[in-house]
Amino acid sequence: MSSKPTPSLPPLNAMEDGSADENEAPKTGADVIKAYLSQLPNRPGVYRMLGKRGDVLYVGKARSLKARVTNYSRMQGNSPRIQRMILATATMMFVTTETEMEALLLEANLIKQLKPRYNVLLRDDKSFPHILMTGDHEFPMIVKHRGARKQKGKYYGPFASAGAVNNTLNQLQKAFLLRTCTDSTFEARTRPCLLHQIKRCSAPCTGLIGEEAYKGLVADATRFLEGRTTKVQAELAEKMQASSEAMDFEQAAVYRDRIRALTQVQASQGINPENTPEADVIAVHAEGGHACVQIFFFRSHQNWGNRAYFPRAGANISEEEILSAFLTQFYGGKTPSRLVLTSHEVEEAELISEALSVSLGNRVHINRPQRGEKRQLVEHALTNARESLGRKMAESAAQSKLLAGVAEAFGLKQPPSRIEVYDNSHIQGAHAVGAMIVAGPEGFEKKAYRKFNIKSAQTNDDFGMMKEVLTRRFQRLLKEDPDRQTPDWPDLLLIDGGAGQVSAVKQIMEDLGVEGVPMIGVAKGVERNLGKEEFHRPEGGQPFALPHRDPTLYFVQRLRDEAHRFAIGAHRAKRSKAIGVTTLDEAPGIGPARKRALLAHFGSAKAVARAGLSDLKAVDGISEKMAENLHVFFSGDG
């Protein structure tokens, strides 16, 4: 993509005589935007609207930058949401592109990176799992795959979830008896594994099935995954009948079980369209300032699952606008189907279709069907979107009630939008980790969780660990957002501990100069029984408790338990990683490949350390100079 920024403009808060008043607040609004019009070209490009603090408010693309920005230079004709955005705009940035499609792709990338407040934002950007039939071995394996397609073979998908893939793989193992082990495991086997014993693998690793017979199983599985299920099942039925007539009832039972497994896969997939071999079906339902986008994946006439997304949209945004924004962001790193069916008309459908066609390498059609099977698929997705949004809004209402209960119980002025809970985990000071979890109106915000590797010398001091974690956390907040303009500042700190811990945290916050952040200590009480927690305020006084069956108490317990779970998980991961660390990891110039070569040659790190110079030189991949450096490192000479 060929793009270049437009010439920079003079400061918009400059005074008439050319001098700038440092005390004057930056100007905002339509007049600020209007000042750019004289320098904007009639070319495609991307524009960014920024607030007073330089925060990105909105990212948009245009066929003509001048024409599009002109629409923002006046308040009339814009929705209330856009009017608020115009009033908040203090400056703008522009990038021109050669084509409108390049502008569309750049816009989608910038929205993902910058997450502007006034754009429709897709919150979940996880990749989808596929089924991989490997193609680099005489006995191909069938496995779940997620990520870049680097391995040679055929990929089938996407599946909406790991559960959908696992269920399909489970049944395919029963039906086709293909191996799922790695190549190294395959080569090392001397006798059949448990999967063969439970009739889920034909054991090609030990020669219980020949290469030609195994290729037949692979061909059947491939045809099934490509949608030719009827032919596969018909052939299996013929083989079962022939075996039965030949009085080979054991083999007939094998074919019967394979037919049953294939039928079970199809039964679990719900709607399987007859006339639509491949499509992504996308439906959107918006209500009360919230939206749900439901996407179903159909491949090879089979339903491979669905997933619901809840993009941040806000009020007064049409479903057509939500759908267009979703398509450009969703397919940014994913392969589209050749047919995309939508519940509403898509704005600039031809442009988006052209961009997706470049990504796929084949023509992508975006249609809004009006009748027939395709319309039924869309209606089914729309019903799911409507029901999913209803459940989400009910959950949000329940969460809002819990947060209101927290505010009432702990004397907060309003329900907290961000609760941070801290905990530490270690074993006698070893592999110490601090953890922070975050909860708010949407429940647990796992993308905001943070782990802190404790760096202080006395890691067996819980107070010292807490001081380090909170100091690092709030020093960064003070540096990045001293005016507390972003939602990253907590409305409540929950500290796992009693009066001593709360007093220590209070002192830490005072030393940092942080004021106005409420905090509560959660202690287990005298009997240390669940449900008898005591709460401690930073100003001291007698601890207090909540009624035994109070929903707010259960909510606080969940928060504390989640922090404990996250801290323990981080500690275990750190401890497991440390177990695999050897003295070789500290040796200069020794990376993973050389480490593997040394361990394979000598058997252990201790043996490497004791090896002579001539032995080190004999290892493949270790040069004479590297061998000398290793020998010096382990012997301590020099």
Residue in the structure block whose two tokens are 């004999």: 618
Q: Classify residue 586 by its DSSP letter.
A: G
Helix (H) or strand (E) holding 444: strand 443-444
Which pLDDT does position 49 carry in this prediction? Answer: 93
Q: What's the pTM value of the predicted model, to 2 decimals?
A: 0.69
The answer to whether the beta carbons of residues 533 and 409 sit under 8 Å apart is: no
Element (H, E) at 149: none
Mean pLDDT, rounded, for 518-532: 73
> Are 88 and 51 contacting, i.e. CB atoms less than 8 angstroms apart?
yes
Does pLDDT of 488 surpass 70?
A: yes
- pLDDT at position 270 is 52
Q: Is the pLDDT of residue 2 over 50?
A: no
Q: Which helix (H) or strand (E) holds 173?
A: helix 162-176
The whole-angstrom separation of Cα 75 and Cα 77 is 7
**Cβ atoms within 10 A of the Cβ of 66, count?**
16
As given in the structure block, the two tokens for residue 48 are 């960014």
At residue 290, the pLDDT reads 85
What is the pLDDT, as a whole number, of residue 240? 82
Task: Please determine, looking at this structure, whether the domain spanning 419-481+488-572 carries the CATH number 3.40.50.460.
Answer: no
Res 139: pLDDT:
93
Mean pLDDT is highest, among 297-301, 444-448, 592-596, for: 444-448
> Is residue 6 over pLDDT 50?
no
DSSP 10: P
Is pLDDT at 71 greater than 60 in this prediction?
yes
What CATH number matches the domain at 3-114, 3.40.50.720, 3.40.1190.20, 3.40.1440.10, 3.30.565.10? 3.40.1440.10
Distances (CA, A) of 457 to 4, 356, 473: 50, 54, 19
Q: Is the pLDDT of residue 17 over 50?
A: no
Q: What is the DSSP letter of 126?
A: P
Give φ, ψ of 551 to 5 degrees: -55, -35
Instruction: Give the pLDDT confidence score for residue 20 in this predicted structure.
Output: 38
Answer yes or no: same fold for 3-114 and 279-391: no
Mean pLDDT of 107-126: 84
Query: What CATH number is given for 279-391 in this structure?
Result: 3.30.420
pLDDT tens per residue, range 305-333: 888 999 887 777 889 989 999 998 888 77
Does the pLDDT of residue 366 top 70, yes or no?
Answer: yes
**Range 583-635 has CATH code 3.30.390.10:** no
pLDDT, mean over the chain: 83
Of the candidates 289, 326, 330, the residue with the CA atom closest to the CA atom of residue 81: 289
The DSSP symbol for 336 reads P
Q: 42-51, 114-123, 531-540 — which one is most confidently predicted on average?
A: 42-51
Q: Which pLDDT tens digit goes with each residue over 391-402?
A: 888 888 889 999
Q: Which of 74-83, 122-131, 581-590 has the lowest mean pLDDT?
A: 581-590
The closest of 286, 298, 297, 284 to 345, measured between CA atoms, is 284
Residue 547: cis peptide before it, omega within 30 degrees of 0: no
- Whole-number pLDDT of residue 185: 87
Residue 638 predicted with pLDDT over 60: no
For 527-548, write each residue's pLDDT tens digit: 555 567 889 988 877 888 888 8
Asked if the model's pLDDT at residue 267 lies above 60, the reply is no
What distance in Å separates the CA atoms of residue 579 and residue 194, rounded to the nearest whole number?
29
Q: Given a cut of 70, is residue 229 above it in pLDDT?
A: no
User: Cα 500 to chain center, whole Å?
Assistant: 38
Break the chain into its structural domains and give their ranges: 3-114, 130-267, 279-391, 419-481+488-572, 583-635
Spacing of C-alpha 18 from chain mean position? 49
482 or 583, higher pLDDT: 482
DSSP 549: T
What is the C-alpha separation between 556 and 412, in angstroms, rounded?
15
- Is 8 a residue whose pLDDT tops 60? no
Average pLDDT over residues 218-234: 76
Q: 308-333 b/e with 16+ CB inside 10 Å = b?
A: bbbbebbeebebbbbbbbbbbbbbbe
The alpha carbon of 566 is separated from its chain's Cα centroid by a whole number of angstroms, namely 17
Q: Which of 161-175, 211-225, 424-438, 496-510 is the least confident region? A: 424-438
- 365 closest CA partner among 344, 333, 337, 330: 337
Residues 29-44: what's their mean pLDDT? 90
Residue 180 reports pLDDT greater than 50: yes
pLDDT at 15: 29
User: What gap in Å lies between CA 123 and CA 38, rounded to an integer?
Assistant: 37
Which band of pLDDT confidence, cut at 50, 70 and 90, is reported for residue 3? Answer: very low
List the one residue out of 361, 426, 164 whose CA is nearest residue 270: 164
* pLDDT of the residue at 254: 74
